[in-house]
């Protein structure tokens, strides 16, 4: 099949000769067009066409440029692999595009690092080189549309526009009514990322098998020792979450098919079986304990065994909904027939220990600097739990935090009275007393008050769950996806009403490149007329830009035009 890309990559067009000259809006459009074609071919089951389109996409200039852009602008851009190479200049970034070729490609071993886990143990991460990261990002562009099209409806981990809150909402829908399932299989896979069978992955994942085999067998350098990799996928690779999702894909659909063949399609609803998965964590609901123990758990164990995996006997359990279970930092339990979802005790304890450690390590910093450290943590934790019954947990955490901060203040001024400390560090703001706050002077010169984020003041709002069949690469879902993305971004920006207003006026699009902004891309607040040149902070003089677009504006002295609100 002969495929011709749009003008940007055709032989007759002018390919950019430097990084700054790349038209990113055109690049993203070209890749998007081919991803839509891949989705259509997958829906039709035309796997030969899928393979051909993937080959074409991974060889295109647009996809290669986008892959390099991703790995040089994400959080790991300053973390080198075993070769100690970074692509930190425009010249190196542009040169890297030409390096992304399959011919004679041989990935280098991963650099093993360890990060602490909540239970005190360490999680191993494999850090690929910049080139290997870019190659993974390149092939992910061709794999993700296929994966999204064949994924289970209620799989929510590491997928576009899906979150833990969506998984929580689906469990609520499956267990909240009187006639809902009363028993839950709370499953845990033992050493998931370390034990996935390589042969199964190579045989079943719809991507270039030669490249995939090289990644899986590349080895790892751990404490200056080169080790072979015979199973598993490295945590830290860009494509690892997609491979993990592919491994567990079919858990929901194939289980439903099995139960239909076993009991008959007409009786499936009476079984009340539902699967909700987030990455490698999942729960299965059922009408009875016997059904989960004798029918569903053995089937799941056989399903996992084909992939080299097994359930943890210590952590996997079958519980009644009245007993409750923890999942993704929440506790799900019915109290006298009413389902309540609350922050789990483990999650609350872990977060408090994190706050205690931060405060203890910053005994001598200024009050405003401590507030700057704590506010993002408090806001993030509160927003995570804002869709559930969390008011009591918020109030309790705020009380514990108050006494921790009081101890912080007394340690700084051991000879001062409580009244003096109260006047120095706490004040009344509006109708609230004992607010940990300080006067400060921002850049605009207007005196203001910086206060600690109020957990108790966080509003509780039910999360609007994403539709199970949503596919971000299918044109028929385009309008739904755009509305969903804007609603969630505006909700996230609510504490900064001016950002929400700008985002709404721009329809969620960057004012420079015209491409969508979301939580993944991030955004910067740009003044059209610079403040140093007398520009004001009025909304008419401000726009939202992608972080890299903002850097281009200042680096190349580009002019940004205020979009016309719709």
Interval 46-53 mean pLDDT: 96
Q: Exposed e or buried b for every residue in 433-447, given b needs 16+ CB within 10 A?
A: eeebbbeeeeeeeee
> Which pLDDT belongs to residue 388?
97
> Which pLDDT belongs to residue 2?
41
CB atoms within 10 A of CB 11: 6
Q: What is the pTM of this model?
A: 0.86
Interval 269-296 mean pLDDT: 95
> Which pLDDT belongs to residue 487?
84
**DSSP summary character for residue 538:** S
Measured in degrees and rounded to the nearest 5, phi and psi for residue 127 equal -100, 110
> Which pLDDT belongs to residue 120?
66
Q: What is the pLDDT of residues 123-133, one digit of tens each?
A: 778 889 999 99
> Which pLDDT belongs to residue 532?
65
d(CA 409, CA 343): 29
> Which pLDDT belongs to residue 5?
42
Q: What is the pLDDT of residues 472-496, one digit of tens each?
A: 999 999 889 888 888 887 777 765 7
Q: Which of 177-186, 398-407, 503-512, 528-537 has the lowest mean pLDDT?
A: 528-537
From the list 395, 355, 357, 402, the residue with the least C-alpha distance to 375 is: 355
- E strand or H helix at 391: helix 391-412
Interval 384-400 mean pLDDT: 96
> Which pLDDT belongs to residue 446?
59
> Which pLDDT belongs to residue 494?
64
From the list 72, 107, 67, 105, the residue with the least C-alpha distance to 86 is: 72
> Which pLDDT belongs to residue 8?
46
Q: Is the pLDDT of residue 430 over 60?
A: yes
CB atoms within 10 A of CB 1: 10
Q: Is the pLDDT of residue 244 over 50?
A: yes
Q: What percent of the chain has pLDDT over 70?
A: 94
> Which pLDDT belongs to residue 442?
63
- Please state which architecture CATH assigns to domain 475-556: Orthogonal Bundle (1.10)
Interval 35-46 mean pLDDT: 96
> Which pLDDT belongs to residue 3?
41
> Which pLDDT belongs to residue 232?
73
Give the pair of three-digit tokens for residue 196. 């996935």
The beta-carbon contacts of 111-120 under 8 Å, at least 24 apart in sequence, are: 111/80, 111/81, 111/82, 111/220, 111/221, 112/220, 112/221, 112/222, 112/223, 113/236, 118/346, 118/350
Q: Is the pLDDT of residue 528 over 90?
A: no
> Which pLDDT belongs to residue 110?
87
Q: Is the pLDDT of residue 505 over 80?
A: yes
Q: Is the pLDDT of residue 366 over 60?
A: yes
> Which pLDDT belongs to residue 525?
85
Q: Is the pLDDT of residue 346 over 80?
A: yes
Between 223 and 85, where is the model more confident? 85
Q: What residue spans of 430-546 are helical by DSSP H?
A: 478-492, 497-505
Give the pair of three-digit tokens for residue 266. 């007409």
d(CA 159, CA 317): 27
Reduced 3-state DSSP string for 157-196: CCCCCCCHHHHHHHHHHHHCCCCCCCEEEEEEECCHHHHC
Q: What residue spans of 44-191 are helical by DSSP H?
A: 47-59, 61-71, 90-99, 130-150, 164-175
Three-state SS at 530: coil
- E strand or H helix at 292: none
> Which pLDDT belongs to residue 11?
38
- Give the CA-trace dihedral at 414, 417, 420, 421, to 10 degrees: 50
Q: Which of 6-15, 75-84, 204-213, 259-268 has the lowest mean pLDDT?
A: 6-15
**β pairing state of 220-222 and 110-116:** parallel
**DSSP summary character for residue 509:** B
d(CA 55, CA 207): 9
> Which pLDDT belongs to residue 119?
63
Interval 48-54 mean pLDDT: 97
d(CA 108, CA 132): 7
Q: Report residue 448's pLDDT band, with 50, 70 and 90 as the boundaries.
A: confident
d(CA 321, CA 107): 48
> Which pLDDT belongs to residue 7?
45
Q: Which of 106-120, 143-157, 291-305, 315-329 has the lowest mean pLDDT?
A: 106-120
**β pairing state of 317-320 and 281-286:** unpaired
d(CA 439, CA 452): 12
CATH code assigned to 151-196+231-340: 3.30.70.270
Q: Tokens 């945590």 belong to which residue?
A: 235
């Amino acid at each position: 099949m002969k495929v011709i890309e749009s003008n940007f990559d055709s032989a007759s067009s002018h390919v950019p000769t430097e990084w700054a000259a790349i038209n990113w809006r055109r690049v993203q459009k070209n890749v998007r067009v081919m991803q839509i074609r891949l989705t259509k071919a997958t829906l039709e089951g035309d796997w030969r066409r899928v393979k051909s389109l993937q080959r074409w996409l991974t060889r295109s200039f647009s996809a290669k440029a986008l892959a390099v852009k991703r790995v040089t602008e994400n959080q790991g851009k300053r973390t080198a692999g075993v070769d100690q190479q970074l692509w930190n200049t425009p010249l190196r970034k542009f040169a890297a595009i030409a390096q992304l070729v399959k011919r004679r490609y041989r990935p280098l071993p991963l650099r093993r690092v360890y990060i602490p886990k909540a239970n005190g143990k360490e999680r191993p991460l494999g850090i690929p080189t910049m080139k290997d990261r870019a190659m993974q990002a390149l092939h992910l562009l061709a794999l993700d549309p296929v994966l999204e099209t064949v994924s289970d409806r209620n799989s929510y981990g590491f997928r576009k526009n899906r979150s833990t809150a969506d998984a929580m909402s689906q469990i609520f829908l499956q267990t909240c009514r009187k006639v809902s399932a009363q028993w839950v299989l709370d499953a845990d896979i033992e050493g998931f990322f370390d034990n996935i069978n390589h042969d199964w992955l190579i045989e079943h994942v719809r991507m270039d098998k030669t490249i995939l085999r090289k990644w899986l067998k590349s080895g790892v350098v751990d404490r200056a020792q080169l080790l072979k990799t015979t199973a598993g996928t490295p945590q830290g690779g860009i494509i690892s979450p997609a491979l993990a999702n592919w491994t567990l894909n079919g858990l929901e659909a194939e289980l439903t098919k099995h139960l239909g063949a076993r009991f008959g399609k007409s009786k499936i609803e009476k079984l009340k079986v539902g699967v909700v998965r987030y990455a490698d964590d999942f729960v299965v609901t059922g009408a009875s304990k016997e059904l989960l123990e004798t029918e569903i758990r053995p089937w799941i164990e056989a399903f996992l065994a084909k992939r080299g995996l097994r359930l943890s006997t210590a952590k996997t359990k079958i519980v009644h909904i009245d007993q409750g279970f923890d999942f993704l930092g929440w506790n799900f339990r019915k109290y006298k027939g009413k389902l309540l979802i609350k922050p789990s005790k483990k999650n609350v304890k872990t977060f408090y220990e994190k706050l205690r450690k931060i405060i203890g390590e910053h005994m001598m910093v200024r009050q405003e600097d401590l507030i700057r450290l704590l506010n993002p943590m408090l806001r993030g934790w509160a927003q995570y739990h804002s869709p559930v019954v969390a008011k009591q947990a918020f109030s309790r955490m705020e009380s514990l935090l108050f006494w921790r901060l009081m101890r912080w203040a007394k340690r700084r001024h051991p000879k001062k009275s409580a009244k003096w400390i109260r006047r120095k560090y706490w004040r009344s703001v509006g109708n609230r007393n004992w607010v940990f706050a300080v006067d400060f002077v921002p850049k605009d010169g207007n005196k203001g008050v910086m206060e600690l984020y109020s957990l108790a003041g966080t509003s509780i709002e039910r999360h609007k769950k994403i539709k199970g069949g949503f596919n971000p690469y299918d044109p028929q879902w385009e309008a739904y996806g755009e509305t969903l993305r804007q609603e969630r971004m505006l909700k996230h920006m609510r504490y900064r009403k001016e950002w929400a207003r700008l985002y709404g006026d721009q329809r969620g699009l960057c004012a420079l490149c015209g491409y969508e902004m979301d939580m993944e891309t991030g955004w910067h607040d740009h003044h059209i007329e610079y403040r140093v040149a007398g520009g004001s902070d009025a909304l008419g003089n401000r726009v939202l830009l992608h972080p890299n677009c903002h850097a281009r504006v200042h680096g190349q002295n580009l002019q940004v035009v205020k979009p016309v609100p719709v």
